[in-house]
Structure 1
């Protein structure tokens, strides 16, 4: 089992609105990650409960969207003091969870794409317009900054909101046409040594490694050494027979049918792996779908690409990148699996009282899927070199951009934003680039939570003249001691997983089987959250009044029964 309370999930119960809560009735408009427009319509029933619908359309609204949603019913609508949540069963049980911001008069929160899915940003504001298009048109009034200094000040305010909440430490670089708007370090790089993060601090960039791996493959294609439509068995003949239809293109586009391999590394994350040892693990993976059939993010696929790079080039993965990317672009601080240095940030996780050093992960077992370290300044050189055509041919770059080969693509203000994020224990990173505007947003963090990615998305939004806000954390409230006392006990969730709950002052102490204790703070009389991780524990009674719980973990609602 993963550590108790490792993912933020919505509380999803249909309840009546308390008299003192912010009214959610009416129509609400917003943009999920700035590119998917959502219109939420909420009506209050005569019995005091709510029903509603969800509609969405990808930007631009004038273009047909095959995945558009119209008036999908909402479920499990919850509205209480400053809190609004609902589920959209029609799109895989997507979950919205937000807090009311009275200053901007918006619901500010996250939209999670189903159980265990990716969390996007979504802020909803009231609208009188009846249609999605009219509501969006009425709400879009971009700000025109009088100067770069004014724009930088707006960005700095957003960043400081996360820093003051002790939710972000790291380095941030935002540039427009190469001119910096933000170029600063925040918080501690190494708490034991007392060193600060600076613009030149080096971080594990995790999956931002993948665009480098994709570029290396395309360099080899430009040189006639391979074709991305070749089957991987052409270069790795001892691959399983079931993989024979998988091509390099499938690996680059995450459509190979192969998934992750972290479960094969259980208990070995701190160990060094040779490429051959890694291959011995990878080749045991099954194919879960036909190649090309569907998108499935695959760390395994990109580690296999690293093996192909080594086989075709005759060089190690690190040496090939040094010779063909790092040195030509003068990326002097970037490397694959280097020895630690004083310029490196130490990765930390959110503790109950203070950050704690994250468990070590050897970069060789992340290999070409996540084994690089870099700085914000070097990643800007990388973005400029790639998109200015200094690394691969125009044809290869066009293919990379059009098909998302090693790149994520979103639409912001009807222009494509190319990006990739990364995560390893203690490190979260995000690097985005919009070539038409020369806009670069690079956020490298050494405190393990979602704030790094939220900051990156917000800064890109601000750069386009639109408002962005700090995604709020739950707020602890005071709960009577007798209420807390009724939750004490041991709750069985699975045969091998129980939660021991005890009272500790004004909060609860929750200990999962074989794991460290986590403090859980009351958000309401029945819902508790942890400050060390983003998650909730809910207490419920059945029809007979017997106490139980619901662990909201990694997108799942896991019920438990008290012994």
Structure 2
């Protein structure tokens, strides 16, 4: 069975809503859309539809931070406290940029399921607006001692980047990542005012996810993109157009060989490193959002699956991983 026929069948069998794309270098191998971008109005998804990518944004955050390191405005050893001042006093004084980038900071996470009070995403309209929600969570373990995935750490990185560079985080992502990569359809959109070319996320009960997402995302997630833009992103990353090649190598080297994923992924600095040892990955999951984009630098293979449901992307990403990567 050819690739397209197999994906069509799997998409049909799983009720997939979203877009699947496969490319090698500059050549598009496959790009197909399924389901509805907005169920209420019956708007179909297209291959150019923009989708929320949730934690896929963390790769952008890491690249912004590294670009500031290249300019000398930060270092991996910069202590968060040097830029936070009196803000977020429960963050250990020894926590560094490197700890945050590698999920080894040990800081308390505002997205912890047991957090009290729970975050109020309707109040999140900028990186700085996350500050009250990030406060009040005790340090969980000594900095650097182990890996623990932490959304709050990347929200803190966005604050550090703003303070080091003197500009809004969304502008830093555009100027330092998406513009150099040619990602014309990627950015931070208001979840309560999505443009017509953007998919609305849907919950399991059929409601939209508008009350579940931040109004505007930040360093830990919340940007929107297309599968075509991610093909451009990986090409730009691996050719040194975003940050120098030596830094790409450092960011995609294993920092944490043992993580808490069932699939055995390792972690670098802002990027997941699947156990096959030949690919680099970004992934996102949230209410009404599932996303994974995988790149194999050796031959330019990229496949991206994005869905406007929470579980929709996973059957296709697992199948593609087995077929294309092995």
- Report the Cα distance in structure 1 between the residues aligned to 2:204 and 2:215, rounded to whole angstroms: 25
- Report the Cα distance in structure 1 between the residues aligned to 2:151 and 2:50, rounded to whole angstroms: 23
CA RMSD of aligned residues (A): 2.0
- Report the Cα distance in structure 2 between the residues aligned to 1:454 and 1:294, rounded to whole angstroms: 30
Whether the 8 Å contact between 1:228 and 1:248 is mirrored in structure 2 is yes
Residue 262 of structure 2 is matched in structure 1 by none
Q: TM-score, normalised by structure 1?
A: 0.52
Alignment equivalent of 1:315, drawn from 153, 160, 167: 167
- Report which stretch shifted further, 336-345 or 216-225: 336-345
Residue 428 of structure 1 is matched in structure 2 by 290
Residue 209 of structure 2 is matched in structure 1 by 358
Alignment equivalent of 1:453, drawn from 314, 317, 323: 314
Cα separation, partners in 2 of 1:333 and 1:265, compared to 1, 3 Å: farther
- Report the Cα distance in structure 2 between the residues aligned to 1:429 and 1:272, rounded to whole angstroms: 22
- Structure with greater proportional helix content: 2
Residue 263 of structure 2 is matched in structure 1 by none
Residue 181 (str. 1) matches residue 33 (str. 2): no
Shift of 1:179: 1.8
Alignment equivalent of 1:379, drawn from 230, 234, 240: 230
Whether the 8 Å contact between 2:92 and 2:107 is mirrored in structure 1 is no
> 3-state SS of the aligned residue for 2:252?
helix
Higher relative CO (Cα under 8 Å, sequence separation at least 6) belongs to 2
Residue 369 (str. 1) matches residue 203 (str. 2): no
Cα separation, partners in 2 of 1:346 and 1:265, compared to 1, 3 Å: farther
The superposition leaves residues 362-413 of structure 1 with CA deviations (integer Å, 9 ceiling, x where unpaired) of: 435642100211111111111111111111122211110113100000133x
Residue 347 (str. 1) matches residue 187 (str. 2): no
Shift of 1:336: 1.4
> 3-state SS of the aligned residue for 2:22?
strand
- Report the Cα distance in structure 2 between the residues aligned to 1:361 and 1:165, rounded to whole angstroms: 24
- Report the Cα distance in structure 2 between the residues aligned to 1:241 and 1:429, rounded to whole angstroms: 32
- Report the Cα distance in structure 2 between the residues aligned to 1:194 and 1:314, rounded to whole angstroms: 43
Residue 146 of structure 2 is matched in structure 1 by 294
The correspondence of residues 408-557 of structure 1 with structure 2, limited to 5 A, is 408-412=272-276, 415-449=277-311, 451-464=312-325
Whether the 8 Å contact between 1:155 and 1:459 is mirrored in structure 2 is no
- Report the Cα distance in structure 1 between the residues aligned to 2:181 and 2:166, rounded to whole angstroms: 22
- Report the Cα distance in structure 2 between the residues aligned to 1:274 and 1:264, rounded to whole angstroms: 22
Q: How many residues align?
A: 307
The correspondence of residues 96-115 of structure 1 with structure 2, limited to 5 A, is none
> 3-state SS of the aligned residue for 2:84?
coil
Cα separation, partners in 2 of 1:155 and 1:245, compared to 1, 3 Å: farther
- Report the Cα distance in structure 1 between the residues aligned to 2:287 and 2:91, rounded to whole angstroms: 32
Cα separation, partners in 2 of 1:288 and 1:198, compared to 1, 3 Å: same
The superposition leaves residues 220-275 of structure 1 with CA deviations (integer Å, 9 ceiling, x where unpaired) of: 00011110111111111114265101000000000001243133563723333443
Residue 258 of structure 2 is matched in structure 1 by none
The correspondence of residues 76-475 of structure 1 with structure 2, limited to 5 A, is 153-154=2-3, 156-166=5-15, 168-238=16-86, 239-240=88-89, 242-262=91-111, 263=115, 266=118, 268-338=120-190, 339-351=193-205, 355-364=206-215, 366-402=217-253, 403=255, 404-412=268-276, 415-449=277-311, 451-464=312-325
Whether the 8 Å contact between 1:171 and 1:445 is mirrored in structure 2 is yes
Shift of 1:161: 2.1
Whether the 8 Å contact between 2:288 and 2:309 is mirrored in structure 1 is yes
- Report the Cα distance in structure 2 between the residues aligned to 1:228 and 1:319, rounded to whole angstroms: 22
Q: TM-score, normalised by structure 2?
A: 0.88
The superposition leaves residues 297-355 of structure 1 with CA deviations (integer Å, 9 ceiling, x where unpaired) of: 0000000000011101111001111112222222111111344100010111234xxx4
- Report the Cα distance in structure 2 between the residues aligned to 1:177 and 1:387, rounded to whole angstroms: 11
- Report which stretch shifted further, 172-181 or 212-221: 172-181
The correspondence of residues 9-48 of structure 1 with structure 2, limited to 5 A, is none
Cα separation, partners in 2 of 1:291 and 1:155, compared to 1, 3 Å: farther
- Structure with greater proportional strand content: 1
Cα separation, partners in 2 of 1:242 and 1:358, compared to 1, 3 Å: closer
Residue 126 of structure 1 is matched in structure 2 by none
